[in-house]
């Protein structure tokens, strides 16, 4: 499971939808939020992808019916432990890197 507080999603939404004082809650869907249209959804997902390091699909997430479901989707993605030594295979320079 990945950790990503739902408040972080709210902050990104405030930025993308330009709603400074809007009180989001997990039950809200796109219909409840001014500015949350298909285009801004794509931008939201791009911002969430950058924030989480995940490659999130706008197509898949467009079908989720609430912010809570979006949060659950994000946190259900497997966590990658960046501190672990993982052999990735040959890098661009052809050498193995730990």
String of contacts with another protein for each residue 3-42, x by CB under 8 A = ---------------xx-xxx----x-xxxxxxxxxxx-x
Instruction: Tell which one of 6, 51, 54, 58 touches another protein (CB under 8 A).
Output: 58
CB atoms within 10 A of CB 45: 22
As measured in angstroms, the least distance from the Cβ of 3 to another protein is 26
Judge contact between 76 and 44, C-beta under 8 A: no
Q: Does 54 bind another protein (CB under 8 A)?
A: no
For 12-28, b where at least 16 C-beta lie within 10 A, e where not — what string?
bbeebbebeeeebeeeb
Per-residue burial over 66-86, b if 16 or more Cβ lie within 10 Å, else e, is ebbebbebbeeeeeeeeeeee
The verdict on 64 binding another protein (CB under 8 A) reads no
| Nearer to another protein among residue 45 and residue 74 (C-beta) | 45
Q: Is there binding between residue 51 and another protein (CB under 8 A)?
A: no
Binding site for another protein (CB under 8 A): 18-19, 21-23, 28, 30-40, 42-43, 46, 57-59, 62
């Amino acid at each position: 499971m990945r950790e990503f507080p739902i408040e972080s999603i709210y902050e990104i939404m405030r930025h993308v939808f330009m709603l400074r004082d809007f009180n989001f809650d997990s039950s809200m869907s796109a219909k409840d939020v001014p500015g949350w249209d298909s285009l801004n959804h794509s931008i939201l997902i791009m911002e969430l992808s950058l924030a989480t390091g995940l490659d999130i699909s706008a197509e898949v997430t467009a079908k989720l019916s609430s912010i809570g479901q979006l949060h659950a989707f994000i946190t259900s993605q497997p966590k990658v432990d960046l501190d672990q030594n993982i052999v990735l295979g040959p890098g661009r320079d052809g050498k193995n890197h730990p």
